[in-house]
Structure 1
Amino acid sequence: MRKNKIHNAIALAFTGISLSLAAPLALAQEAEETAVDTQNVEKIAVVGARGAPRSVTSSPVPVDVLSAEDIEAVAFTDMNNVLMTLVPSYSVGRQPISDGGTFIRPATLRGMPTDKTLVLVNSKRRHRAALVSIGGSGTQGPDIATIPTAAIGSVEVLRDGAAAQYGSDAIAGVINFQLKENTEGGSFTADYGSYFEGDGDQITITGNKGFALGDDGFLSISAEYSDSEATFRGEQYCEDWFCVDEQSEQYIADAAAMASSVHDSDVVQPWGQPDTSGTRIFFNAGYALTAEMELYAFGNYSESEGSGNFYYRYPGNRTIEDIRLEDGSIWSPTEFFPGGFTPRFSGDVTDYSFVGGIKGMSGDLGYDISGRYGYNDISYTLANTINPSMGNESPTSFKPGDLTNEETQIQADFTYDFNEYILAFGASYLDESYEISEGGVDSYFAGPYATSDPWGFCDGDAASAAGLAVIGTGSTLNCADSDDAVYTVVGVGSNGFPGYSPDYSGTYSRDSYAVYTDISGDITDELFAQAAIRYEDYSDFGSEVVYKVAGIYQINDEIAVRSSYGTGFRAPTPGQQGTTNVSTRLPDGFPVATGLFPAGGDVAQALGAEELLPEKSTNFTLGLTASFGDLTLTADYYNIKLEDRLYSVSTRDVSTTVVTDPDADGYDAYQNYLALSGAGVSGAESIGGVFFFQNAFDTVTEGVDLVATYKMETTYGSTMITGSINYNDTSFDSDPSEFLDPEDIFDFENGTPEMRGVFSVTHSYDVWSAVARLSYYGEYENVGSDDGTVIDAETIQTYGSEFMFDIEGSYLINENLTLSVGVRNLFDSYPDPTINGDACCGQVYDSGSVVDWQGGYYYTRLAARF
């Protein structure tokens, strides 16, 4: 018994959250001694104690343990969608027009953004993606879509703050992906599906193969290929200021030809998911050197690409404008794009990592010493657009630049077994960098038409000598007419996404180290407790000490109460400190170049920004667990207070219109222009808005998770019933009005459903099995205001609750082959259409909604096991 306990400690001590006992390969000799029936093993959890395993219902904090079978039963291959389907407090939306967010989708856990959730693979920190979301919380977290489902043995979701155990980021919780450890056999799955609308065809091919490395090791290799076509859920661009259908027949024909050639649609402004494809490979390996020591390694390589669209540009929208060329003639971008144009934005994402280490036992001391390297890069391209400031000399495709995130970490973890208690302690060193690589010159070049009268044709209201010369050649130049094309000022850089210039390129880096200790054990037969303390020191943000205590009291054999309290600390990432972006937004239908600048840089400082500070949190949970035979219940209340929350300020207007009266409208906008111009921003005249990240306010997020499972065995087969509900509410704990306008304040507190539920029934009988799942989304509200200040009943839209029903049936053809057919969103449900001021330009549904607006989807899947 003593030996088994030590070997379990090797496998579990550094897991960090939880795992299923179905597949421990820590030591091959031990594995050969014990055969485990994986269908009847109780799920257990380490939940931060880094010690003895705990069952899910007896863990001191809430944990979801998802098996490979749970994951395979979900009709998604994108890991974001898998988790959203199975964990109600996990949400992810689809932004159809969102720069890099089109390709890497940020998610939330318990209402907190991705960078407040720590992601682990095999209990080791997963590196961040290169994308920093340019709005809201400026999220920069790992891209879990790079993890193929075929590689996963189980997923553990710790729904509790755990920064004291795992470090910065673990404010809302921890997600740990345990890779498969099979020494033989494998799987192959081919999946094809399409939406009811007849678009969005998707094919996914996944596979896994296990190999034995001698008698004492394993190598498990998993791969995935996916290809997904675009969907179209919008309508033709027709607004008060410009309606495609009301133009001339020739213009309509030209616009249709543009739409067909650029994005294979019959509308100029498509709304839907982008075209995406990707190849992903993971490996996991281990080798037992002795009965007490094991080498291990795992890593990945993935390449993916996607293409989406920006907003449609029509003549006279401040982008397609007449300008006067050097010879005095008038030129318009319609000569390039007779039907207007819709920029096409593409991104190539490369991601790879390697982790290696050695772990084992020396007497009662367990050790795990490891190193890891992670790399993620996004390379942008932009087509079907122009650099307006270059006029007729502009190309129509550009390379705006690349974003790269790199991380290197060395970590040492130890445990010591005191029989009744497990002491864990360790240290780590992390070096991380974020690089913005310069784009092609044409993508950021400020051409002559970025300024008024670039060729000096006019001297006041009269023509200069140069102006008289072109008039003499037949030019219609009229310097006395303020509307003459000679005075037109247009935007700088590739329209839609100007490239990164040398001024805004560079590398932001830092290093940090941490030490921690954690102790856990049974204080009495009824009470289990744990405590942890951690010290972290960052080269750019100084040091901090955080702690956590947690415990569970078993009232009787069936019922227990549990609680935890902890503090957290999250230093803004190098990407959040350094990212810069000029993109196009569409207030009132007019494209406006809007610039995001680093809070610590000269530009944002000139606009009143302050240096970023760390975010600090306190996390409290109180829960009840119950187990009555085949019925298990958990109910957990949580309260997360976040101080100095990082958030982007509401966009601040910029205008070249001279306003000198501080009390007059437009004064602040003119001052912002002067600040940009004074800071040397290229093309400041064409920028219409600016914003930056700040530690803007404090928030309180609180809610309740309810989870129930019931298993039945009858003569007609086995049935598993699962129900889970999440209630989540976030409110301000300080006055945010200095940083957010009234519209953003309202949407922050009301813009997502407070209630979310997932209910499923799985039944198997002989060679047949079926899964039925109901997803519920509660009501939420959104305000659409013309200027961001008017909040009244006419501008607020309430989106009703939605139910979406999935069903799948499977047939076991033989012991190796299974055929499945199913439907997601069987009744083709959609959220309410957007009808307030946020509806514009071909959009039908709220683009930021976590409620899916793609409609029904049917699929078939052939799975082989060997």
Structure 2
Amino acid sequence: MKRLLLLPAVAIAIVSQAQAQNITVTGRVLDNNGAAQPGVTVLEKGTTNGTSTDGSGRYSLSVPPTATLVVSAVGSATQQIAVNGRTSIDVRLVDNETALNEVVVTGSRATEGRSNILTTAPVDVISAREIKVFAQTDVSQILTYIAPSFQSSRQAISDGTDHVDPASLRGLGPDQVLVLVNGKRRHSSALVNINGTVGRGSVGTDLNTIPNASIKRIEVLRDGAAAQYGSDAIAGVINIQLKDDTTGVQASSTVGETYEGDGRLYQADANVGVGLNGRGYLDLSGQFSNRGYTNRSGIDTAPLIYLGGNGGNYPGSANTEDKRRDLKAQDDALVAQNGYDRKNLRLGQSEARNYGGFLNFGYKLAPAIGLEAYVTAGAMQRTGKAAGFYRLPNQITQVDATIYPNGFLPFINTTINDQSIISGLRARALGFDIDLSNTYGRNEIRFDISNTLNASLPIGISPTNFYAGTIAFRQNTSNLNFTRRFTNVAVLSTLNVAFGGEYRDDNYRIKAGERGSYENYGRVVTPGTPPTFAAAGAQVFPGYQPSDALNRSRHNVAGYLDLESDITEKLLVGLAGRAERYSDFGSNVSGKLAARYSILPDVAVRGALSNGFRAPSLQQRYFTNTSTQFVQGAPNQVLTVSNDNPIVRNSFTPGATGQQGFGVAALKQEKSKNYSLGLTARILKSGSITVDAYQIDIRDRIVLSSQFSRANATVNTILGNLPVSQVQFFANAVNTRTRGIDIVANQRMPLGPGNLNLTVAANFNETKVRKVNSSATIDADQTGLQNTLFDRQQRGRLENAQPRSKINLTAGYSLGIFSLEARTVRFGAVQYKDARLGSPAGNPNFLYSSIDQTFRAKWVTDLTLSAQVTKQIGLTVGANNIFNVYPDKYKVDPRNSATNFSVDPLLNYNSSLDNTNRGRTIYNPNQFGYNGGFYFARVIVNLPTTK
């Protein structure tokens, strides 16, 4: 018993003796110009014992005499300094040669990473500091303003797309860029974009499900990489590397709002890093964000709000100016009496509240054989609220006046749940690095519709809220990879060999909404022959019907081989091949050849040739629903059917019985050919420049067709008795060619007592539709079906709807505890094109093409000032879009005056000719949005772990 009581005393004595043997090391950390550097992390290597420098750059840390100090700061090279019994150590930081020369791992499976200017393909590297320094707070917006080849803008009145930003790389679609997390495939969103937005018909990855606080850096590979990573990597790859080397607590809080006083943002995030005694790491990150809506809508110019029963226009009986004048006077009196606000839309960013967290863990189980276990797991929930189009009180098929006597603005409420987990083992055996992993991801979106009704119910009894259904996508990917570097292979300087296999299982589900959200209860609005019926289902978003519900799965297996060799000291060559087989459409083989050659010690040329593919997503293969969509300002019940539906696949034979169809072929993979050629150079000691040109040819590109209307006799026969007015579907409808050039230059230099960082980055691209792939049924129709499959508005979305150029100029100056960051981004021109050809009946002097509009390029400037107030606390204030720049406004009334139309409210203002939705839509969202200026303040707290 006495021995047991002695054990704690002995342990305390041992610990006390060890602590007594520690020494206190003090010193200052300075930059390369001798200025004090606050906030620098000083850590005892292999432990969680650390501190950070104060405002004078001083630190103090108790460590063993034999310890090694690790000194790190953003923008500087990490240094390891042996203590060797010293009690005073001053440190002079050394700048990284350039942020773009950071070692990257994306685009190569070599065992050793290369700096960006030494790779065979261009890779942008965005550090954690760049993510935090400006006002943007979600990943898609951060990349939009930092990486010129990346573009994303928030959409409005586009159903689920209001809540999941469509994004593109090099001017291609959201589903033509592959997203990785820690080098592992990230699952896509459950949402397929079916409304009239950029990325229409595509299924992208929701980048905003990953908290900023968890990100160590983002690597953007701007080159086709399907041969290396598989489907989707036609435009390139975005690899998000999570933090794995932090200690202590880093937290930040951001508040801000737009110059207009809306769009208020509250965001807080934190990262806790724990070192595991030199054997591993544990990083926990979390984020909360609450974002208010913005509204930049205009005034509704509809002549009539309450009277007329004709969606804002005069009825046919008001066929003289006197009758219109009297009706207008009566209606204006009702507007005044009821206090009706003609600013009746909500156009801007949606409301969003986000909770999320990530864990990144690794531990060496057996260091002698390199056996390491790792786990990366994340979960996020985001709730959102966005408006649809206002239902006027005179739209009698859509409004119940006993519930909404003044009409109503319906809302789509979404709840997005996203979960993922990566688990795996790494080891070394027979000279190979072996990586066995499993990646699971799931994205689910629930739709609840509020402030709405089902107008087909009897008067006065409709609920005003409906559950409209849920969509969900799940993906599970298993990988086994082998990598080895050989240094003595015949005449080769080095040879890196990588090979492996993959098995992936995908699942897509649609769950039906409650009955009232989709049912047609048959209320007759106007008796007659035929009678006029009220619209069925929840206004703005009819729920998914039981016939829409589905549960579809597929799997694929893949094998790859990747070789990379320094043939000589000047020549690097890479060769990759990949074969895949999908259970639902067949096989694909892709390959890539890439090389880099040093023509001078600091100058090299690089290039790549590859073919790639993108498999049709399950959402594109099987999605079906009926929705209310506003086409040229008029509401339509639009049926979206899957490609497997007989409406799409069957041929059309006049007079035949049975289901007729459009005769469109089954969906197959898109196939691409990628070509790139570039130049890299080091400028002086601390700068670099890269110039890369590219061409991407895509065959059988999958798009969502334009809407086929019952006004066409063939379409009317195909739709039969279905209660819809239009139909659309997915098809391999077009071949495209994208050409462009990326330019990135970076320079770091001392300027006076501080340091100046300069970056110039630009992307110029052009996409052209080279061919439309139709069907015999569509080609045989002589009434315009060929123009409907892929109309000029759809063509415009691919070719001109996003900026064809973007230029980023960034300057950062640091001096002592202060730093100033300025950035201006030029968003190139975009265009709107009307879907229709020719002129409307009875108006030969007016051409629909006159509605087309080009929106000029604009510069958007951000400015921030940061101060390291103490060694634990930093403060940043600034503004995004400091000069409050907006896109060009839509034309108020683009019609030729010779057509005898005007905005005179006494005339029959035909909104179907007006792409501005009666003056309410003011701005095009596809350049940089239209929130205007946004000012913010951010507090950053850094609390290193100490013993």
If the length of structure 1 is used for normalisation, what is the TM-score?
A: 0.86
2:831 is the counterpart of 1:781: yes
Q: Is the 8 A contact 2:828 2:927 kept in 1?
A: no
Q: Summarize deviations over 1:397-434 as a string: whole Å, max 9, x none.
A: 11110001111111111112212111000001001101
Task: Measure, in 2, the Cα distance between the counterparts of 1:766 and 1:34.
Answer: 23
Go from structure 1 to structure 2 and tell me whether the alpha carbon gap of 1:56 and 1:523 turns closer, same or farther (over 3 Å shift). same
The partner residue of 2:366 within 290, 311, 327 is 290
Task: Measure, in 2, the Cα distance between the counterparts of 1:582 and 1:819.
Answer: 50
Task: Measure, in 2, the Cα distance between the counterparts of 1:599 and 1:226.
Answer: 39
825-834 vs 793-802, which moves further: 793-802
Go from structure 1 to structure 2 and tell me whether the alpha carbon gap of 1:53 and 1:493 turns closer, same or farther (over 3 Å shift). same
Task: Measure, in 2, the Cα distance between the counterparts of 1:744 and 1:73.
Answer: 37
Q: Determine the structure 1 residue equivalent to 2:874.
A: 818
Task: Measure, in 2, the Cα distance between the counterparts of 1:809 and 1:823.
Answer: 10
Q: Is the 8 A contact 1:77 1:148 kept in 2?
A: no
2:775 is the counterpart of 1:701: no
Give the secondary-structure state (helix, strand or coil) at the position aligned to 1:745: helix
Q: Determine the structure 1 residue equivalent to 2:475.
A: 407
Q: Is the 8 A contact 2:254 2:939 kept in 1?
A: yes
Structure 2 counterpart of 1:49, which letter? S
Give the secondary-structure state (helix, strand or coil) at the position aligned to 2:458: helix
Deviation at residue 590 of structure 1 after TM alignment:
2.4
Structure 1 counterpart of 2:102, which letter? K
Give the secondary-structure state (helix, strand or coil) at the position aligned to 2:887: coil
2:188 is the counterpart of 1:112: no
Q: Determine the structure 2 residue equivalent to 1:367.
A: 434
Q: Is the 8 A contact 2:267 2:289 kept in 1?
A: yes
205-214 vs 689-698, which moves further: 205-214
The partner residue of 1:487 within 517, 520, 531 is 531
Task: Measure, in 1, the Cα distance between the counterparts of 2:647 and 2:537.
Answer: 18
Could you list the runs of 5+ residues in structure 1 that have no partner in the other structure?
Answer: 1-21, 260-265, 321-331, 454-478, 655-665
2:578 is the counterpart of 1:527: no
2:210 is the counterpart of 1:147: yes
Task: Measure, in 2, the Cα distance between the counterparts of 1:302 and 1:746.
Answer: 35
For 1:206-245, list aligned pairs within 5 A. Answer: 206-240=269-303, 242=305
Task: Measure, in 2, the Cα distance between the counterparts of 1:183 and 1:814.
Answer: 20
Q: Is the 8 A contact 1:269 1:842 kept in 2?
A: no
Q: Determine the structure 1 residue equivalent to 2:688.
A: 632
The partner residue of 2:163 within 79, 103, 107 is 103
The partner residue of 1:648 within 704, 728, 737 is 704
Structure 2 counterpart of 1:693, which letter? F
Q: Is the 8 A contact 2:865 2:876 kept in 1?
A: yes
Q: Determine the structure 1 residue equivalent to 2:821.
A: 771
Q: Is the 8 A contact 1:28 1:288 kept in 2?
A: no
Q: Determine the structure 1 residue equivalent to 2:910.
A: none
Q: Determine the structure 2 residue equivalent to 1:854.
A: 931
52-61 vs 152-161, which moves further: 52-61
Deviation at residue 821 of structure 1 after TM alignment:
0.6
2:194 is the counterpart of 1:134: yes
Deviation at residue 525 of structure 1 after TM alignment:
1.1
Q: Determine the structure 2 residue equivalent to 1:85.
A: 145
Deviation at residue 28 of structure 1 after TM alignment:
6.1
Task: Measure, in 2, the Cα distance between the counterparts of 1:615 and 1:150.
Answer: 36
The partner residue of 1:421 within 495, 499, 522 is 495
For 1:169-318, list aligned pairs within 5 A. Answer: 169-182=232-245, 184-240=247-303, 242=305, 247-251=331-335, 254=338, 256=340, 267-291=343-367, 292-317=370-395
Q: Summarize deviations over 1:801-851 as a string: whole Å, max 9, x none.
A: 101111000111111111111011111110100114321145343444232
Task: Measure, in 2, the Cα distance between the counterparts of 1:438 and 1:792.
Answer: 39
Task: Measure, in 1, the Cα distance between the counterparts of 2:416 and 2:106.
Answer: 33
Q: Determine the structure 2 residue equivalent to 1:504.
A: 548
For 1:355-394, list aligned pairs within 5 A. Answer: 355-392=422-459, 393-394=461-462
Q: Is the 8 A contact 1:128 1:405 kept in 2?
A: yes
Q: Determine the structure 2 residue equivalent to 1:619.
A: 674
Deviation at residue 37 of structure 1 after TM alignment:
5.1
Structure 2 counterpart of 1:745, which letter? R
Q: Determine the structure 1 residue equivalent to 2:55.
A: none
Deviation at residue 586 of structure 1 after TM alignment:
2.3
Give the secondary-structure state (helix, strand or coil) at the position aligned to 2:771: coil
Question: Identity over the aligned pairs, expressed in percent?
Answer: 32
Deviation at residue 383 of structure 1 after TM alignment:
1.3
Go from structure 1 to structure 2 and tell me whether the alpha carbon gap of 1:422 and 1:369 turns closer, same or farther (over 3 Å shift). same
Q: Is the 8 A contact 2:698 2:736 kept in 1?
A: yes
Structure 1 counterpart of 2:266, which letter? I
Give the secondary-structure state (helix, strand or coil) at the position aligned to 1:502: coil
Q: Is the 8 A contact 2:120 2:595 kept in 1?
A: yes
Give the secondary-structure state (helix, strand or coil) at the position aligned to 2:140: helix
Go from structure 1 to structure 2 and tell me whether the alpha carbon gap of 1:28 and 1:436 turns closer, same or farther (over 3 Å shift). farther
Give the secondary-structure state (helix, strand or coil) at the position aligned to 1:66: strand
Q: Is the 8 A contact 1:710 1:721 kept in 2?
A: yes
Q: Is the 8 A contact 1:225 1:278 kept in 2?
A: yes
2:224 is the counterpart of 1:161: yes
Give the secondary-structure state (helix, strand or coil) at the position aligned to 2:533: coil
Deviation at residue 672 of structure 1 after TM alignment:
2.5
Deviation at residue 714 of structure 1 after TM alignment:
3.4
Q: Summarize deviations over 1:748-775 as a string: whole Å, max 9, x none.
A: 3222221111110011000110100001
Q: Is the 8 A contact 2:371 2:428 kept in 1?
A: yes
2:652 is the counterpart of 1:578: no
Task: Measure, in 2, the Cα distance between the counterparts of 1:764 and 1:709.
Answer: 16
2:759 is the counterpart of 1:722: yes
Give the secondary-structure state (helix, strand or coil) at the position aligned to 1:734: strand
The partner residue of 1:444 within 518, 522, 526 is 518
Q: Is the 8 A contact 1:701 1:730 kept in 2?
A: yes
Q: Is the 8 A contact 2:576 2:591 kept in 1?
A: yes
Q: Summarize deviations over 1:207-247 as a string: whole Å, max 9, x none.
A: 10012335512210001100011111012322356569973
Could you list the runs of 5+ residues in structure 2 that have no partner in the other structure?
Answer: 1-39, 50-66, 78-95, 306-311, 314-327, 488-493, 650-659, 774-785, 841-846, 895-913
Q: Determine the structure 2 residue equivalent to 1:658.
A: none
If the length of structure 2 is used for normalisation, what is the TM-score?
A: 0.78
2:586 is the counterpart of 1:542: yes
2:862 is the counterpart of 1:806: yes
Task: Measure, in 2, the Cα distance between the counterparts of 1:582 and 1:504.
Answer: 9
610-619 vs 586-595, which moves further: 586-595
Q: Summarize deviations over 1:520-567 as a string: whole Å, max 9, x none.
A: 010011100100000100000111110001010001111100000111
Task: Measure, in 1, the Cα distance between the counterparts of 2:436 and 2:118.
Answer: 29
Q: Is the 8 A contact 1:845 1:853 kept in 2?
A: no
The partner residue of 1:59 within 119, 133, 150 is 119
The partner residue of 2:130 within 64, 70, 74 is 70
Task: Measure, in 2, the Cα distance between the counterparts of 1:797 and 1:364.
Answer: 61
Matched positions, count: 774
Structure 2 counterpart of 1:423, which letter? V
Question: Cα RMSD (Å) of the superposition?
Answer: 2.5
Structure 2 counterpart of 1:190, which letter? S
Q: Is the 8 A contact 1:744 1:788 kept in 2?
A: no
Q: Summarize deviations over 1:685-718 as a string: whole Å, max 9, x none.
A: xx22211111001000110000000101234211
Task: Measure, in 2, the Cα distance between the counterparts of 1:440 and 1:744.
Answer: 33
Deviation at residue 33 of structure 1 after TM alignment:
7.6
Give the secondary-structure state (helix, strand or coil) at the position aligned to 1:604: helix
Go from structure 1 to structure 2 and tell me whether the alpha carbon gap of 1:34 and 1:434 turns closer, same or farther (over 3 Å shift). farther
Q: Determine the structure 1 residue equivalent to 2:418.
A: 351
Structure 1 counterpart of 2:420, which letter? S
Go from structure 1 to structure 2 and tell me whether the alpha carbon gap of 1:426 and 1:438 turns closer, same or farther (over 3 Å shift). same
Give the secondary-structure state (helix, strand or coil) at the position aligned to 1:141: coil
Deviation at residue 651 of structure 1 after TM alignment:
1.1
